[in-house]
Amino acid sequence: MPKTVVVAMSGGVDSSVTAYLLKTRTSYRVVGLFMKNWDEENSEEGCNAANDYRDVADVCDALNIPHYTVSFSREYKDRVFSQFLEGYSRGITPNPDVLCNREIKFDLLLKKAMGLSADFLATGHYCQLVRREGKVLLARGKDRRKDQSYFLSGTPEAALHKVLFPIGAMEKSEVREIAERAGLPTASKKDSTGICFIGKRDFRSFLGGYIQDKPGEIVDIDSGKVLGVHRGLHYYTFGQRRGIDIGGRESPLYVAGKDVEKNILYVTEGEDSPFLYRKELTAKNPNWFLLPNSNHFVCTAKIRYRSEDEKCEVHLENGGLRVIFDKPVKAVTPGQTIAMYEGDICLGGATIDVAMIPPGIL
């Protein structure tokens, strides 16, 4: 009997090509599975699950493979959205994509696939897997501009033994070409961007619907002067420029820090201000794919999806991490993920807890 692979179908070109490759280039029995994570009456501005499902159905019909739908809306709100809101209410900036991969796709969805007697779950992530001494390790995708290993850095290592990333060794342009040659209905569909449950809506308006405004002082971190009033610390993230709404300066103002207890938003002038840079951070809840043998090691790290790799020293301390960068890094943001690498291998990830502030600044 051929092995069965369940493909997580989103209605996009990447998962469509994933299903196509497995159907046409392997001996696997392929099944499509559409995952619904968000229930909302007005889908015009937020998630549009109905349209995405129609695209999934069209692709699966074209490939002559069965397809099913599963809803994790309740679980998503409990395990992802609630953490998202709780983090913003505490003044930090959580990453819902990392949470979704860890809590939903590579936990609940993987279990659902196994419940359908599947041998593997396949997704359209731009990642690769490397087998080494009985371990399955996460590696960057070939297309560095689309590499998604950062978003999977919190995924349990055990899950990697049951997943496949068929397009991880491809460039995005190649994926598009395959879709066009195969005549897939999603070949020209635009990539989805942003946070699904927010969609096209203004982020502030969306967040304000869940977290009550709590105005406080905006303070110039350079001079200590009060410049104005903010609506609530949850609307601002470290390094942010837009939304501060204070004019009359030679250079734009940027968010340089928060004092949640005193409800103060600190800002600094100019994108090169030293107050925007940190050389050290602590992180908690580490997830390891390949844990080095030493409590102190050297690697590279990314502090957000689009950031460059930064050389650093990592110290394992009290179940968490202390990371010291070779040079100051801009906009290190509590709540976001730090992903660590040895070459193209992702060693693991953790949640940034504190970006160390030089003595005497605050």
Enumerate the active-site residues.
100, 196
d(CA 154, CA 138): 11
Which helix H or strand E contains 115, and what residues bound it? helix 110-115
3-state secondary structure of 303: coil
Q: Measuring CA to CA, how many Å separate 265 from each of 86, 243, 256, 291?
A: 19, 12, 8, 37
Structure tokens at 252: 């734009």
**Cα–Cα distance, 310 to 149 (Å, whole number):** 16
Nearest partner of 125 among 95, 109, 105, 107, judged by Cα: 105
CA-only gyration radius of the chain, Å: 22
Residues contacting residue 212 through CB under 8 Å, at least 6 positions apart: 232
Which one-letter amino acid corresponds to residue 22? L
Q: Using CA atoms, how far apart are residues 124 and 105, in angstroms rounded to an integer?
A: 12
Residue whose token pair is 């290190």 = 332
Helix (H) or strand (E) holding 316: strand 310-317
H helix or E strand, kind and range, residue 67: strand 67-71
* DSSP symbol at 275: G
